[in-house]
């Protein structure tokens, strides 16, 4: 059933003849009652034709009467048309007219502080109690996965609110421990992580740096002292004496075999030779005396060899005289055996001398260690005592002490890179203390916001340097991430920024689930290479992470990331507006004062505060709501302050706020100005006066980036009678310029019209709807009422008042629903009317549900007060049609049929008229076909008669011929018999 308006009918309307109902009844075809019969005579055919002619004349007369009635009612220029508006139109327009005090809600300056300097203190949780409650719940639960996703629009100030709340909570929270990475002397590839009390990491680093500098200085002094040199000389002399004695004993043994011990000049190796060869070697050794003079051992051996050579010469002469008879072969054989024996003895001596040298080196090393221990022990003892409460630190320091003692020579010589201070460092990387996180004692928990949450910035990384083509790294190149800095506290991240960087979300999720921070090489993950890098020990993680993002992103993560809900179990919803009460207005003034103090702006007086509150209500698109968008408020405060400064004022007033709003509107109004230029030039066809059938001024909103403005759009409907069954072609949708919501509105409106008229008459038409001169994408169902008005106007052939523009959504029951952007839409049509001159008849028709959202401009309100512009609020489509057409829409008579003068009655009359036209055409076609069939039957009958006549004549002739033949035969028979 359609929505009925409970409007009492006057006497004249009640006395209207029920001929309207009769006219709306379908006209039956008399031929349906009397089926065609085959005429048996011309008289019957003439009687049938006479009857069809009478029926046709009666149908044409009836059609003429209906057409005349419809034309008389639809013709506004008829002489008998009413001059005064219809009573129902007057009653509906008075009931739907929106009062001036409903067009805007003003703030009372007298109830606000004199200026922002006397404003109340800022309430951190103002307007966001739901979100803060969720935050407190997550912070009070220390189980795994209780991290927070703060959902809300950008610009609400979520980060500021959360940061201030966390700062208050963190101030009373315990300060987390410090963490440092140090060299692992057992496995250098896996540096050790040490936990220290708050503030002790920097102390340990400073102590180790100082220790290194003092240790190197003291060791250098000790190893350059005369005492150290004398001890080293003593060890060397003792070793030299032992070596000389061993050589002397071996040389004496060689003399028994007529062999002399000497050193070869080219490699200084000890060998046994015959004394005859000693002279040549001696001369060569004299040439290189400067090389051998440094060794006392060599000089002694040379002198001994010279004496042995002289003696052996005398002895050899004697032996030569006495043993002349010995064969030369036996002499050579004996000499070889003796020389081989002594050479073995020399090899044994060499091994003994190497052992002796090792003992000397051990003695020197022992001396070095004893010196290092005596030098370093006084430096380490105070540090042991300072960190006695930290066993792991003391153990590490003892390992450092042992390593310094062990490598004291390399430290003093400074010829090893591991013991040389690197660039931009004060300590070799081997002994460096790399502070990963450090906190001041009793400073509370850290609150960190990471604006670039890459994988490296979140989890830390290990840097590398390239020297001479070699890539190296060490413990001092480990860099902390945001998780390290916020460990023990709170970390804030923008969710959209986090998802922009590869592996950042995976790394964060892994750390939160395992509760450990493990550094990994992102280069290896991306390139799949096996380059050598450090693998630092993981650090225990105790943190609360708060992700900031919009609600749509939260739902996408829930859908696409299965483990998201297990990690971020708490959702904190931030509202974008708040109820407009006096208490909330004062709280917003306190927020303004806080921003003003932070930015060092001029104070705002009470009228400026009222203007700001009214603009925030406009942004919320509701008289009873206030926008909480901090970005908009901050921008407005700064620009208002600028106008006050340029005007030489030290306090901001309402005119400065209004000027700032106008400037912001002008900056974003480039597209709007282009449209108005087209309207002025006549390129945009908008009619704000007169009447037109099937044409409506629809109200639309154009949104592009940060620019949004309202403008009227011409919506037209075209009817094609006798074609289709009520189909409505949505041109915007068919060319892919209409969105799904627009298509939904069209289908709802179509369903409503089908339910409205199909029960009374068949919908023997098709229609098309289009937004003229619209070439952009259209979406939303706010044009449903406009489309319904245009279509019904075209169906009824009733003009629509072009001085009115309309917007509104509609359901299948004909009820008008609220739409968005109502203030911009009204302002757009008002500007168009003002551009084409205000006549006092123009206005807009809006849903009554949108009246509470009106926050119109002051110039529009002034025009409404002066009667130059009107605003109507409607509940149903019938009220909207009454305002747009000036006619009653759906009043019915006693038989529950729409009255003739109503809009729906005119629609049904036209449907009937189209049906009459169709039936008349069918009757004419039937008559023609009957005449043609009759002629055909007559021709067939005549042909049959002619054929019968020919056939009878041929039969008579044939019978005559047969008779003649028979007579001839009889005569022949008689003649034969006679013969």
Annotated active-site positions, please?
A: 782, 825
In 3-state terms, what secondary structure has residue 470?
strand
DSSP code string of 865-934 = HTTSSEEEEESBHHHHHHHHHSS--S-B-TTS-B-TTSHHHHHHHHHHHHHHHHHHHHHHHHHHHHHHHH
Beta-strand runs (E) in 213-297: 260-263, 270-273
In 3-state terms, what secondary structure has residue 695?
strand
Angle at which helices 391-406 and 200-223 pack, to 10 degrees? 20
Q: How far, in Å, CA of 474 to CA of 421, rounded?
A: 13
Q: Which of 418, 447, 247 is nearest to 348 (CA)?
A: 247
What's the DSSP call for residue 439? -
Provide the 10 A C-beta neighbour count for residue 494: 19
Q: How far, in Å, CA of 802 to CA of 843, rounded?
A: 10
Number of helices (H) and strands (E), helices first, in the chain? Answer: 34, 29
Residues 563 and 460 sit within 8 Å (Cβ to Cβ)? no
Structure tokens at 689: 């006066």
How far does CA 218 lie from the centroid of its chain? 61
Residues 499 and 505 sit within 8 Å (Cβ to Cβ)? yes
In 3-state terms, what secondary structure has residue 715?
strand
Distances (CA, A) of 890 to 19, 88, 767, 887: 18, 11, 21, 10
Structure tokens at 38: 């085959």
Residues 798 and 696 sit within 8 Å (Cβ to Cβ)? no
Distances (CA, A) of 744 to 729, 741, 777: 13, 5, 15
In 3-state terms, what secondary structure has residue 217?
helix
What's the DSSP call for residue 764? -
Residues 718 and 694 sit within 8 Å (Cβ to Cβ)? yes
Q: Which of 771, 788, 802 is nearest to 878 (CA)?
A: 788
Q: Using only C-alpha atoms, what is the Rg of the chain?
A: 57
Q: Which of 507, 493, 606 is nearest to 159 (CA)?
A: 493
- How long, in residues, is the chain? 979
Structure tokens at 338: 């003796």
Beta-strand runs (E) in 378-463: 433-437, 447-450, 461-462
Provide the 10 A C-beta neighbour count for residue 909: 24
CA atoms within 13 Å, Cβ hemisphere of 452: 4
Q: Which of 496, 455, 462 is nearest to 478 (CA)?
A: 462
Distances (CA, A) of 61 to 30, 56, 907, 914: 15, 9, 21, 15
**42-73 burial code (b ≥16 CB/10 A, e <16):** eeebeebeeebeebbeebeeebeebeebbeeb
């Amino acid at each position: 059933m359609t929505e009925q308006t409970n409007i009492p009918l006057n006497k004249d309307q009640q006395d209207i003849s029920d001929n309207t109902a009769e006219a709306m009844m379908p006209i039956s075809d008399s031929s349906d009652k009397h089926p065609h019969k085959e005429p048996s005579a011309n008289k019957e055919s003439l009687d049938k034709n006479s009857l069809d002619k009478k029926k046709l004349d009666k149908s044409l007369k009836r059609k003429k009467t209906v057409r005349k009635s419809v034309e008389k009612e639809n013709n506004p220029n008829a002489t008998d048309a009413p001059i005064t508006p219809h009573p129902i139109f007057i009653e509906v327009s008075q009931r739907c007219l929106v009062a001036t005090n409903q067009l805007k809600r003003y703030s009372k300056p007298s109830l606000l502080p004199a200026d922002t300097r006397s404003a109340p203190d800022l309430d951190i949780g103002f307007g966001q109690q739901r979100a803060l409650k969720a935050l407190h719940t997550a912070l009070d639960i220390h189980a795994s996965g209780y991290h927070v996703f703060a959902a809300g629009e950008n610009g609400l100030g979520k980060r500021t609110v959360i940061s201030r709340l966390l700062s208050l909570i963190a101030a009373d929270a315990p300060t987390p421990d410090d963490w440092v990475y140090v060299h692992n002397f057992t496995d250098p590839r896996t540096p050790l992580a040490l936990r220290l009390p708050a503030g002790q990491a920097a102390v340990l680093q400073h102590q180790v740096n100082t220790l290194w500098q003092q240790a190197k200085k003291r060791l250098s002094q000790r190893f350059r002292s005369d005492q150290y040199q004398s001890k080293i000389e003593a060890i060397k002399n003792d070793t030299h004496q032992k070596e000389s004695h061993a050589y002397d004993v071996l040389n004496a043994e060689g003399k028994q075999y007529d062999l002399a011990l000497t050193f070869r000049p080219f490699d200084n190796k000890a060998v046994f030779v015959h004394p005859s060869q000693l002279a040549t070697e001696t001369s060569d050794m004299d040439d290189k005396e400067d090389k051998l003079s440094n060794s006392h051992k060599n000089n002694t051996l040379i002198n001994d060899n010279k004496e042995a050579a002289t003696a052996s010469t005398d002895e050899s002469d004697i032996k030569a005289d006495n043993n002349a008879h010995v064969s030369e072969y036996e002499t050579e054989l004996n000499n070889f055996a003796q020389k081989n024996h002594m050479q073995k003895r020399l090899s044994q001596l060499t091994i003994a001398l190497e052992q002796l040298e090792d003992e000397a080196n051990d003695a020197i090393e022992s001396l070095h260690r004893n010196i290092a221990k005596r030098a370093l022990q006084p430096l380490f003892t105070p540090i042991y005592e300072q960190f006695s409460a930290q066993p792991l630190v003391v153990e590490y320091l003892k390992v450092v002490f042992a390593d310094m003692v062990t490598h004291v020579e390399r430290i003093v010589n400074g010829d090893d890179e591991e013991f040389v201070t690197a660039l931009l460092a004060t300590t070799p990387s081997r002994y460096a203390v790399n502070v990963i996180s450090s906190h001041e004692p009793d400073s509370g928990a850290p609150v960190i916001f990471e604006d670039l949450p890459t994988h490296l910035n979140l989890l830390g990384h290990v840097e590398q340097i390239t020297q001479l083509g070699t890539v190296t790294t060490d413990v001092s190149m480990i860099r902390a991430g945001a998780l390290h800095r916020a460990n023990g506290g709170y970390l804030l991240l923008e969710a959209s920024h986090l998802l922009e960087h590869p592996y950042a979300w995976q790394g964060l999720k892994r750390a939160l689930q395992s509760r450990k921070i493990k550094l990994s090489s992102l280069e290896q993950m991306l390139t799949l290479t096996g380059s050598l890098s450090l693998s630092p020990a993981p650090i225990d993680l105790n943190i609360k992470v708060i992700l900031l993002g919009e609600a749509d992103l939260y739902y996408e993560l829930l859908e696409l990331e299965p483990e998201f809900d297990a990690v971020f179990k708490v959702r904190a919803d931030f509202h974008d507006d708040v109820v407009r009460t006096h208490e909330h207005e004062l709280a917003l003034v306190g927020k303004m004062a806080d921003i003003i103090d932070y930015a060092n702006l001029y104070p705002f007086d009470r009228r400026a505060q009222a203007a700001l509150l009214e603009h925030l209500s406009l942004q919320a698109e509701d008289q009873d709501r206030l926008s909480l968008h901090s970005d908009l408020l901050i921008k407005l405060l700064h620009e208002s302050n600028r106008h006050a400064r340029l005007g030489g004022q030290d306090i901001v007033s309402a005119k400065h706020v209004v000027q700032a709003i106008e400037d912001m509107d002008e900056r974003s109004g480039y597209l709007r100005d282009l449209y108005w230029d087209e309207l002025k030039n006549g390129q945009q066809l908008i009619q704000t006066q007169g009447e037109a059938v099937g044409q409506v001024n629809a109200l639309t909103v154009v949104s592009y980036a940060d620019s949004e403005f309202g403008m009227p759009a011409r919506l037209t409907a075209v009817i094609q009678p006798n074609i289709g069954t009520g189909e409505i072609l949505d041109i915007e949708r068919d060319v892919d310029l209409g969105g799904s919501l627009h298509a939904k509105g069209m289908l709802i409106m179509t369903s409503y019209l089908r339910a409205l008229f199909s029960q009374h008459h068949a919908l023997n038409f098709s229609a098309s709807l289009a937004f003229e001169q619209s070439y952009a994408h259209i979406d939303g169902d706010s044009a449903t009422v406009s489309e319904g008005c245009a279509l019904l106007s075209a169906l009824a052939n009733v003009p629509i008042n072009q001085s009115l523009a309309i917007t509104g959504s509609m359901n299948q029951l004909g009820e008008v629903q609220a739409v968005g952007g109502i203030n911009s839409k009204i302002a757009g049509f008002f500007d168009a009317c003002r551009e084409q001159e205000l006549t006092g008849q123009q206005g807009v028709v809006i849903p009554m549900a949108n009246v509470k959202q009106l926050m119109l401009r002051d110039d529009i309100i002034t025009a409404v007060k002066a009667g130059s512009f009107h605003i109507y609020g409607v509940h149903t489509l019938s009220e909207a049609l009454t305002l747009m057409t000036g006619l009653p829409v759906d009043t019915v008579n006693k038989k529950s049929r729409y009255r003739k003068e109503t809009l729906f009655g005119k629609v049904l009359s036209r449907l009937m008229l189209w049906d009459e036209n169709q039936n008349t055409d069918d009757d004419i076609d039937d008559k023609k076909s009957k005449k043609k069939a009759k002629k055909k039957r007559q021709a067939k009958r005549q042909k049959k008669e002619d054929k019968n006549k020919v056939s009878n004549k041929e039969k008579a002739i044939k019978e005559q011929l047969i008779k003649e033949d028979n007579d001839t035969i009889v005569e022949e028979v008689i003649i034969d018999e006679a013969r």
